[in-house]
A and B are shown apart, each in its own frame.
Chain A
Amino acid sequence: MRTGVFVCWCGLNIGGVVDVPRVVEEISHYPGVARAVDYRYMCSDPGQQLIKDVIREERLDSVVIAACSPGMHEATFQSVAASAGVNPYRCEIANIREQCSWPHQNEPGEATRKAIELIQAAIEKVRGDEALSALSIPVTRRALIIGAGIAGMQAALDIAEAGHEVVLVERLPHIGGHMAQLSETFPTLDCSQCILTPKTSEVGRHPRIKLLTNSEVESISGYVGNFTVRIRRKATYVNWDLCTGCGLCTEKCPSRASSTFERGLVKEPAISIAFPQAVPHKPVISAEACGHFTKGKCGVCEKVCPVGAIDYQQQDALFEEKVGAIVVATGYDLHPKAKVGEYGYGVYPDVIDGLEFERLNSASGPTQGQIRRPSDGKVPKEVVFIQCVGSRDQENGYPYCSKICCMYTAKHARLYKHKVSDGQPYVFYMDIRAGGKGYEEFVQHATEEEGVLYLRGRVARVFQDGDALVVFGVDTLSGKKVEIRADMVVLATAIVPASGAKELARVLKTATDQYGFFSEAHPKLRPVESLTRGIYIAGCAQAPKDIPDTVTQAGSAAAKVLALFSAERLSHSPAVAAVDEELCSGCGVCVEACAYDARTLDTRRRVAVVNDVLCEGCGACAVACPNGATRQKNASRSQVFSMIDAVVG
């Protein structure tokens, strides 16, 4: 074996702690090492050139790079090795930065010793590495998008416009997400429906978008380029192929259900279309509220439907779709009502959240756009807006900032003033975060031109006194206690991941953060990739964000999908399981151990085989094999044994 070892200083990141010259000196005497060299920045062009030159001069057959984490530059150095004639699977990384110099900054001696041992382990590993070549797998050029809010719709349109088919799954009966509930949008105050409906109708009629509403993803199998998705379309009890959306059923229905779209502010018929611009414009029966299902009596909708579309017997339907890439755009929910007891949220009807205020403002909402409080329909003359309810609250909520509340609260206060010119809006805030194009100006306008009174401080309590809500707070700028008798209180509650996000992440075998937002592969440089290849993230599924940021990220996710679809075939890691048929007894334990159906028994030859393309290289079968017949390529038992010797010995 002729191994070259390349030790990076990473400026002072490694070199400031680890004694690099000593490392190079010791390693150059290690068995199998043809040459050890160091360089200030191994990932730089001159650093890469140095590696190539030494490979050629020393006729190396393997290399070890001692530098940052393999997560950073493994691929870089593999391609450098390959370009100079070393098989890329015979290039190993010793992580002497993230797991050595950085966490041991005050112990240079020990860090140096550790670096030497980590490099020795990497040399032992590379000694056993086989020269492999990447496997090639076909790509299904069809995308699945989960969630049809503005993020999912934008990604779907971008991918469909580029010529690929899209399956767009939405669990509600209609598309548009939360944006469909908004009245106006900051910082321009243009009507949300007016800018959204061109998108919803385009999605609804696009020839390459297969829209599955009232549907959820049940399970997913496969891998990048080749996913099989099982989708459940929940029963609507209306045959949408026959239904014309005339609305007669809704008019005549005698039963009532609380309207989710209107945030529970009104009741709607048990058979209804959520809002006038809904796409698809078809009704759904709520089985919990419908007289036919609850009492077994009513059948009015069935009688009045002119096309016979009502189908009380309808069952959930299961579909299977084959796709090559997935975009997760599941959006957000608001912090649950029950958790904000001190503000009487969920107890006093006139304490509402931001989305409820949007509905009060909306021309198609329960009050036709007039600001009337829920309890008695009175026009509120004093309205208190409270920001950071649940957000930036380590004790009772979430430590993170929900990002959009400063802006939408300013918007709410301004819209309120436009409609109730003699009313007084107050805003309790912690800090105003108005970073964004035109945002700061928007907030300034609220305070300077529109008479919105901003009070810097927290509200301690809200309680009912007669028909007023008494708001106890503090103005930290004047140092005075504040008591306001308000007619209505609007809470900017925290943005939380959509319900079911964690369960979906499990189905997708990808990760979420501690709050349940989907984790991106890198917080700065790979913000739309998930930790699973072929799965991308867009919108509030990843973190709270506003509409412009959501649309940007959705476009970016679509671009990633299109890049994936631009290749005929994808490469698949060749570090998969392999079987020594001489040793295999055909017992089938490996078949049981495999989570990917990549292991099967060849019953004729009585040996276990590996389907390379399905194998994810996890190594579970190799451990399970009772007679050592299965090995994981380039992570064999003997390799790990020598690595242990290198670090313990």
Chain B
Amino acid sequence: MSYELKLAAPLAAFFGLFFILPLLILLYVSLQADTAMTSMAVSQFTRFLFDPFSLSVLAHTLFLGVEVTALCLILGFPLAWAYVRGPAWAQPILIVVVLLPLLTSVVVRTFAWIVILGRQGIVNSALLSLGLTDTPLRLLYTEGGVVVALAQVQMPLMVLPLITALSRIDRNLDDASAALGAGAWRGFWRVTVPLSLPGILAGCMLTYAAAITAFITQSLVGGGQMLFMPMYIYQQATALQNWPFAAAISIVFLAAVLAVVSVFNVLGRLSKAHAEA
């Protein structure tokens, strides 16, 4: 064994013991026929995969991730752009703005959103006093509310990779594309976006994975009426003590997330090849 591998051994052992082993136990539990856990069967998986309701929860959760990721990208790209291309004095301010959400706990940020979106929250009182609405709008416990809150909570995960990717682009390329007759938009779409694709994909992957598994924000802003996969697992595991089904849901969810992540990976490799070509 080389010296480098030996140095990584403690971490590998840690992962083996506290990540791989529990994952195998999870798989074992998911293959139990019932809660007594005495006989093995795949019935938990067939129960999930042939149940339209369970599948709709999965689809709903995966789509929530798409919405949050899209919103993060739309709002995050200009922010990263402003950081990279803006004046030097603005950079420290912007990096604080980007990092600030990371410095407070997710729970605190989520509670802040509850206060903002509530019936007597900032948004509703502003709308009421401007006379734009007569009765408070329902913002909390709606999917829109969950998407906005999650987008804010996960924003740094999108912006930081974007900043890295954008700052690596040689600015002479802008001038080159302008000199060759491309307008600002054409230059942006044909030069900047393709070159920043690795950053976009990394940001999307991180945001997506974080958004669909964000148990706290989903349940606090979404309330007890909206069911996403993390809450579904929690409900089965703790409220119903049905560990085999909860384990099976977890495995299905893990597989679904891995599938999405590998799509991003493939896209990432393609974009790299494209950028280097």
Chains A and B come from one and the same complex: no
User: Chain A interface (Cβ within 8 Å of chain B)?
Assistant: none
